[in-house]
A and B are shown apart, each in its own frame.
Chain A
Amino acid sequence: GQQLNQSPQSMFIQEGEDVSMNCTSSSIFNTWLWYKQDPGEGPVLLIALYKAGELTSNGRLTAQFGITRKDSFLNISASIPSDVGIYFCAGRSGSRLTFGEGTQLTVNP
């Protein structure tokens, strides 16, 4: 089946630092999505990417859909304590959504 490799698994950063995480796959996806999940909550959609090469921003977040359609990255600039959580990438092919393993982000004040 399709697999997404998400890295890093965890990050510990200081408030104000920039963060970058990425996902790669051996399969092509039509859509890349980035979600954030807080403990005990469902994932919340951050950014959706629909075209290869697309670069989209949402406030301090920027994500790109790789040209090969097999990868995507998410950048968070000037991190703040409330950025803490688990970030998941997800690739969509047809009706199926495949999730990465998640990146646990810890921001120290």
Chain B
Amino acid sequence: GAVVSQHPSWVICKSGTSVKIECRSLDFQATTMFWYRQFPKQSLMLMATSNEGSKATYEQGVEKDKFLINHASLTLSTLTVTSAHPEDSSFYICSARKAGGAGELFFGEGSRLTVL
């Protein structure tokens, strides 16, 4: 159990377009999901915390109007990169905390975004 799936796993888009990435907990309910960004050979940087049914909490320096997060259900959170630019190219990873669990985070496979 505890599988988190992201879709798409990779996406290439033109500059100025918007891209949506989905994060689903397949076999458990997740009241809280987290979105991370990872640059090559670097650690994961937390972008925002997403709570089901409420607004996301963004980390300092992360533009909430650029990275729209929606956590519409206990099994789905989405990250939309709006008006993407080449500097938004990165590996985006979500994680989900099991409701009622011991607090472990389970990560998705990641989504590679390349903005041309």
Residues of A in contact with B (beta carbons under 8 Å apart) = 31, 33, 35, 40-45, 48, 50, 88, 90, 92, 95-97, 99-102, 104
Contact = CB atoms under 8 A, between A and B. Distances in A.
B43 A97 contact: no
B28 interface: no
Contacts of A35: 107
B71 interface: no
Contacts of A90: 105
B97 to A, nearest CB: 8
Given A40-B112, A42-B93, A97 B106 contact: no
B45 to A, nearest CB: 8
Given A42-B6, A97-B34, A101-B43, A48 B104 contact: yes
11 contacts: A41-B109, A42-B93, A42-B110, A43-B93, A43-B107, A45-B106, A50-B102, A88-B44, A90-B105, A95-B97, A100-B43
B103 A31 contact: yes
B91 to A, nearest CB: 8
B32 interface: yes
B25 interface: no
B42 A101 contact: yes
B29 to A, nearest CB: 16
Given A40-B110, A43-B44, A48-B104, 20 more contacts: A31-B103, A40-B91, A40-B112, A41-B109, A42-B6, A44-B107, A45-B105, A45-B106, A48-B102, A50-B102, A88-B43, A90-B105, A95-B32, A95-B49, A96-B49, A97-B95, A97-B105, A99-B43, A99-B44, A100-B43
B9 to A, nearest CB: 8
